[in-house]
Amino acid sequence: MDKKFGGELVTKKGKIFKFDDIRCMVDFLNSEEGRANDYAYQLVTNYALAESTSELIPVTKAFFVSSPEIKSPMAGNIAAFSEETTAKETQTKLNASRVTWSQLLTQFQ
């Protein structure tokens, strides 16, 4: 597992689902089991800080970048950032695409 790509879902009852790739988390959310839960938190790892800390950020506040150059564990190739400027820098450096959380949810249905 590469800690730069993780995600967590926490239900309102406190059950935690952990993922090693944002794509896997999205796939789960789009599954029957995933849709059956009521979530208090939907979190992703801040790619920019993953080497020094395991900062989790809400998906609603994250900036997402997608590129084949981003080699995530399950080939989702998506990185999340807490700062838009850092996401833009990575986007430019890797000739990547910016995507929103809602786009990710529909892209992998």
pLDDT of residue 55: 86
pLDDT of residue 2: 73
pLDDT of residue 50: 58
Among 63, 64, 17, 19, which residue's Cα sits nearest to residue 39? 17
What does the pLDDT look like over 4-62, one tens digit per residue? 888 999 999 999 999 999 999 999 999 999 999 999 999 999 998 756 567 899 999 99
Contact criterion met (CB below 8 Å) for 64 and 100: yes
